[in-house]
Structure 1
Amino acid sequence: MKTTQLLIPTQKEAPNDAQIISHQLMIRAGLISKLASGLYSYLPMGVRILKKVESIVREEMDKAGSQEVLMPVTQPAELWQESGRWQEYGPELLRFNDRHGREFCMGPTHEEVITHLAAQYIRSYKQLPMSFYQVQTKFRDEIRPRFGVMRSREFIMKDAYSFHLDQASLQQTYDLMHQTYCKIFDRLGLDYRPVLADSGSIGGDASHEFHVLADSGEDEICFSNESDYAANIEKVAFSKQEVTCHAQAVEESVLTKKKTSIEQVSEFLNVAPSQCIKTLIIKTSEGLKALALRGDHELNEIKAHNLFGEFELASDEEIKSLGLKKGFIGVKGLSIELIVDYSASVVCDFVCGANEWDQHLTGANWQGVEFSEADLRNAVAGDDSPDGKGQLIIKRGIEVGHIFQLGDKYSKAMNSNVIGESGKAVTTTMGCYGIGVTRVIAAAIEQNYDDRGIIFPEAIAPFQVVIVPINYNKSTRVKTLADNLYQQCLEAGIEVLLDNRKERAGIMFADSELLGIPHRMVLSDTHADNGNIEYKARNQSDKLEVSYDDALAFIQEKLAE
């Protein structure tokens, strides 16, 4: 392909609303164009990248024995009402009526549709296991779309679904999909980690997320420094601990001079935040409850949601109704249920609120306090790994894939049954496996860039090679050499871009680096004189002089590496 045949609207500056690197560089490189909030058009270079990601995904899913289907984006409300998610899903589900007044939604996911299909066509246990996948547009009405295609309203996803007779069969396919996802992300050239995860609104039992490691990631993921343990910070589970200290201090109420935060109190009293206990009042469907954690720990909202259902922090008025003072809430003398995090319950001689204005207790202990215990907190770096091997390291990650064991959540609700070996109806058990295709591109950029632009992994770069001929439109010699080399590359099956624009060399170099094309070959009158070309890899600073006659063999060797 020649640049004069392509729309490549590169820009020197990123738009003001582009907050992260991938958004900035995708706009500047002319890969995408913003249509409206959370809606983007993919331009020719962006489509080339998109198709490469999709191709790798399809090849590996086909190898795993999954069958490709294509389901509608528009879904009837009846299916979602049947599964129970029409009311549950929330405002991200875009609902609308057609001209006949019938209710529909724009599909954010396709569990209902695929389960409906399975109920129609999978009738016997002899047909199982069976899995299907699609590469399809999804729509989620995000309240605040941001970060370009990283969190847009419309996006492309590969979603797959499997149906099984029993849990053992589901586990086999789940393990196969885990391996398949690793192969996909390996081929995409990404530095990633599979981690234990929460199933969220999809539901189900077991779940793993696949995260691309990047400083801009929205998720925190935890790894052991001595084992393969890895989990989303929301999923790191801690067990009840043994008390290893003994109460020694005398409890005393002290004036803390309007110090309300853990940081202020610990500094004022010259104690470590880990020696303080903070108490949160939450509002649940069962009423108000008190949660106590160590001062250096944060409440894990997913764990709390799993324990209490929907909840929110109590208002100032609700706290006052309990006779408590915000900023000085303690653990003693509460009139509501108290749940203490495992790590907090083993602290002795701690500092906590005194439930009186401007007062804290020092030397406090748990004797005489009625409470239950639970795992409430987020992990922190240096925690012992839950598998008992090493300590946790925490890094940021971008979620690009998620696999679930759904069980019978959808198949039971939607009557996806088969006739079992005994002749009786058996409810199928399901798995669900998603990859954010458009998000993969953004994640790859977040992980691979420099101050000059994108450094695409070779598997998904828009072109493998770019030829930059200086004075192509003025020098007959340069044009002849460039055209000849370009033709050689095409005949060899190399994806090559010839920059035949009437632009200065600096602009052509800048654009090739901005676009992240892995290999660049430069030709000029000087090279025509000495019989060489200049070669530079996008991910290296050094340049090489290569014989023009050997250029094709040289680049083929580089591509083979």
Structure 2
Amino acid sequence: MRASQFHISTLKEAPAEAEIASHQLMTRAGMIRKLAGGIYNYMPLGLRVIRKVEGIIRDEMQRAGALELLMPLVQPAELWQETGRWELYGPELLRIKDRHGRDFVLQPTSEEVITDIARNEIHSWRQLPKNFFHIQTKFRDERRPRFGVMRGREFTMKDAYSFDRDEASAQKSYDVMYSAYMRIFERMGLTFRAVAADTGSIGGSRSHEFQVIADTGEDLLVYNPDTQYAANIELAEAPCLIAERAAAAQPLTKVSTPGAGKCDAVAEMLKLPLSQQVKTLAIAVEPETAGQPVEIWALLLRADHDLNEIKAGKIEGLKRGFRFATDDEIVAHFGCRPGFIGPIGTAKPVRTIVDRTVANMNDFVCGANEADFHYTGANWGRDLPEPTLVADLRNVVAGDPSPDGNGSLAIQRGIEVGHVFYLGTKYSSALKATYLDETGKPALLEMGCYGIGVTRLLGAAIEQNHDAKGIMWPRALAPFEVVICPVGWGKSEAVRDEATRLYEQLQAQGVDVLLDDRDERPGVMFADWELIGVPVRVTVGDRSLKDGVIELQGRRDSASAKVEVARGLEETLAKLAAAV
């Protein structure tokens, strides 16, 4: 490819709305152009990267035995109504009507459609296992699309779906996909972690996220540096930090804490550590039957710990959802305004859940259910009943004991780019997708689903691979592997001849090379290609040719190196082979 035949449109400045590096750099490099909020045109440079991502994915999906098909972007509402997700999915599901008034959706995912295919196409155990995948546009009507391709409304995703005879077979299919995903992200040259994760709205009972490590990531990943343990913070088990509860050593005392409605303020006023305080979080559960009162619960955590809402949502009684109680609800049930509530002497009965660590605390501080007052010296069994419902309610923190029993936990940020789920029969049951087993009896298909954010991967790769000059693509994802920059293209026949000769040699070796024949000044060319992030740059100039050399520089190198013209091809290939 020659630059004069391509479309290169770099910008010196990023749009004001671009908050993170990937959004800024993709826009400045001319890879994307915004059409509407969360919707982008992928320009030729950006599309080249997408096609390379797709190529790796297709290769490994086929290697794993998955079969490619293509499902529509527009899906009939009836399928979503059969599974119940028409009502449950939420406002991210974009609902539309055709000219006849029939309901459709723009697909955010394809569990319903693929299960409909399976129930019509798979009839016998002899046809199993099967795994179908496609790479297709998705649409999720995000309330606040942001961060460019990282959280857009329209995006490209690879989703695969496995169908098996029983759970044991489905777990084998899951393991095959897990291994394929490991190979995919390794081939892309990304630093990533596979972490145990919550199944979320997709459902199922086994799940792993694939997270690209980046400081700008929205997810917190918990891992043990000394073992293989890794999990999303939503799922990471938080152990009890107190092995055994000590005996009460202080009397229960009501102390004045004027204006100290925050735990930090209480700790400072009483000269006690946060770890000696218990905070009470009031939540509300709406009634299942109209006309019944809202149920108020109290969640007790140590003051230096944060509530994990995913864990709380798995507790019986909270599974259908909860919200934080309003000020009026808090006053009605605790007898005072927020900031001073506690588990001792509530105005009305509330259901209480105690975090594991809190259940073993003694002589702790808590709200006194009276404005500007707290209790010190509170103890279980003496001042309030022994906890009957104890659960893991909190987020782990760095330094917590690892759940695998070896060492301590560390935390880092990541960007989710892939997710695998074991679904079981959630969708096959709802859609009555069955096959005939060896005895001729119908049985439900066991399912798994496996997604990769194709366009999101571009943003994640850039967040992990950039510097002040621009993008530093891993070789496998770069729009071009090598760029040749002739200095004085329009003035020197020797420069044109040598640049063209090397260009043709690299092409013959199968290298994805671009010849920048725009006749731009060296500074302009170098700045463009550093911004765009091509792994290897070759500079051919009159002055260096007179010395019998050309200049070679890797995008991650601090300086260029001179190599003999006669060894130009060999040295360029060696530099490219060494690129990440």
Q: TM-score, normalised by structure 2?
A: 0.95
Offset from partner CA, 1:293-345 (integer Å, 9 cap, x none): 00011111111222203111101111111223311011112321111111111
Q: Is 1:395 paired with 2:412? A: yes
The corresponding residue for 1:514 is 531
Is the contact between residue 554 and residue 575 of structure 2 (CA under 8 Å) also seen in structure 1?
Answer: no
Equivalent of residue 291 in structure 1, options 283, 286, 299:
299
Match of 1:176? 176
Task: Give the match's secondary structure for 1:274.
Answer: helix
**CA displacement at 1:488 relative to structure 2:** 1.4
Deviates most, 169-178 or 476-485: 476-485
How much is the aligned-residue C-alpha RMSD, in angstroms?
Answer: 1.1
* Partner SS for 2:423: strand
Q: Give the structure 2 partner of residue 213 of structure 1.
A: 213
Q: How does 1:518-537 map to 2 (within 5 A)?
A: 518-537=535-554
Q: For this pair of structures, how many residues does the alignment match? A: 561
1:306 pairs with 2:322: no
Shift of 1:560: 3.1
Q: 1: CA distance between counterparts of 2:225 and 2:256?
A: 43
Structure 1 residues 458-497: aligned runs within 5 Å: 458-497=475-514
Pairing partner for 1:325 from 309, 330, 337 = 337
Matches within 5 A, 1:136-175: 136-175=136-175
Report the CA distance between 1:285 and its aligned residue.
2.7
The aligned counterpart of 1:59 is 59
Residue of structure 2 aligned with 1:552, choices 569, 573, 577: 569
Cα distance in 2 between the residues matched to 1:518 and 1:223? 31
- Distance in structure 1 (CA, Å) of the matches to 2:487 and 2:246: 75
Give the structure 2 partner of residue 415 of structure 1.
432
Q: Distance in 2 between matches of 1:344 and 1:225?
A: 27
1:284 partner letter: V
Letter of the structure 2 residue corresponding to residue 438 of structure 1: T
Equivalent in the alignment of 1:75: 75
Distance of 2:439 and 2:55 partners within structure 1? 42
What secondary structure does 2:568 align onto?
helix
Hey, what's the Cα distance between the residues in 1 that align with 2:557 and 2:207? Answer: 39
Unpaired runs of 5+ residues, structure 2, are 288-294
Q: Please tell me the residue identity of whatever aligns with 2:368.
A: A
SS of equivalent residue, structure 1 residue 423: coil
TM-score scaled by length of structure 1: 0.99
Pick from 351, 374, 394 the counterpart of residue 365 of structure 2.
Answer: 351
1:446-465 residue pairs with structure 2 within 5 A?
Answer: 446-465=463-482
Q: Say whether the 8 Å CA contact 2:301–2:307 is kept in structure 1.
A: yes
The aligned counterpart of 1:230 is 230
Contact kept in structure 1, 2:537 and 2:553, CA below 8 Å: yes
Q: Which amino acid aligns with 2:139?
A: F
CA distance in 2, matches of 1:244, 1:184: 48
Distance in 2 (CA, whole Å) between partners of 1:444 and 1:6 is: 24
SS at match of 1:344: helix
Is 1:440 aligned to 2:457, yes or no?
A: yes
Q: Aligned partner of 1:327: which letter?
A: G
SS of equivalent residue, structure 1 residue 290: strand
Any stretches of 5+ residues in structure 1 without a counterpart?
A: none
CA shift for structure 1 position 554: 1.3
Q: CA deviation at 1:245?
A: 2.3
Shift of 1:503: 1.6
**Counterparts of 1:82 and 1:414, CA distance in 2:** 6
CA positional deviation for 1:493: 1.4
Structure 2 CA distance, aligned partners of 1:70 and 1:179? 23
Alignment-derived partner of residue 560 in structure 2 = 543
User: How far apart are the structure 2 equivalents of 1:247 and 1:184?
Assistant: 56
Report the 3-state secondary structure (helix = DSSP H, G, I; strand = E; otherwise coil) of the residue aligned with 2:520.
coil
How far does residue 242 in structure 1 lie from its aligned partner after superposition? 4.2
How far the C-alpha of 1:557 sits from its partner, in A, is 2.2
Q: Tell me, in whole angstroms, the C-alpha distance in 2 between the residues paired with 1:483 and 1:176.
A: 45
Which whole-Å CA distance do the structure 1 matches of 2:217 and 2:224 have between them? 19
Following TM superposition, by how much is the alpha carbon of 1:67 offset from its aligned partner in structure 2, in angstroms? 0.3
Q: Tell me the amino acid that sits aligned with residue 486 of structure 2.
A: P
> In structure 2, how many angstroms separate the alpha carbons of the residues matched to 1:447 and 1:519?
19
SS at match of 2:190: coil
Shift of 1:239: 5.1
Letter in 2 for 1:318: E
Identify the range of structure 1 (375-384 vs 54-63) with the bigger mean alpha-carbon deviation: 375-384
Confirm whether residue 32 of structure 1 aligns to residue 58 of structure 2. Answer: no
Look up the SS of the partner of 1:96 in the other structure. strand
Inter-partner Cα distance in structure 2 for 1:387 and 1:480: 63
**Does the 8 Å CA contact 2:249/2:363 hold for their aligned counterparts?**
yes
State, as a whole percentage, how many aligned pairs show the same letter.
52
Residue 239 of structure 2 contacts residue 401 of structure 2 at CA under 8 Å; is this kept in 1? no
Q: Which amino acid aligns with 2:265?
A: Q
- CA separation in 1, counterparts of 2:380 and 2:263? 19
Shift of 1:28: 0.5
CA distance in 2, matches of 1:419, 1:409: 18
In structure 2, C-alpha distance between the alignment counterparts of 1:466 and 1:424, rounded to whole Å: 62
- Aligned residue type for 1:381: A
**Alpha-carbon shift at residue 409 of structure 1 (Å):** 0.3
Shift in Å, 1:237:
1.9
SS at match of 1:459: coil
1 CA distance for matches of 2:239 and 2:504?
65
Cα distance between partner residues in 2 of 1:543 and 1:555: 12
**Structure 1 stretches of at least 4 aligned residues deviating more than 3 Å after TM superposition:** 238-242
> What is the Cα deviation at residue 95 of structure 1?
0.2
Report the Cα distance in structure 1 between the residues aligned to 2:246 and 2:53, rounded to whole angstroms: 55
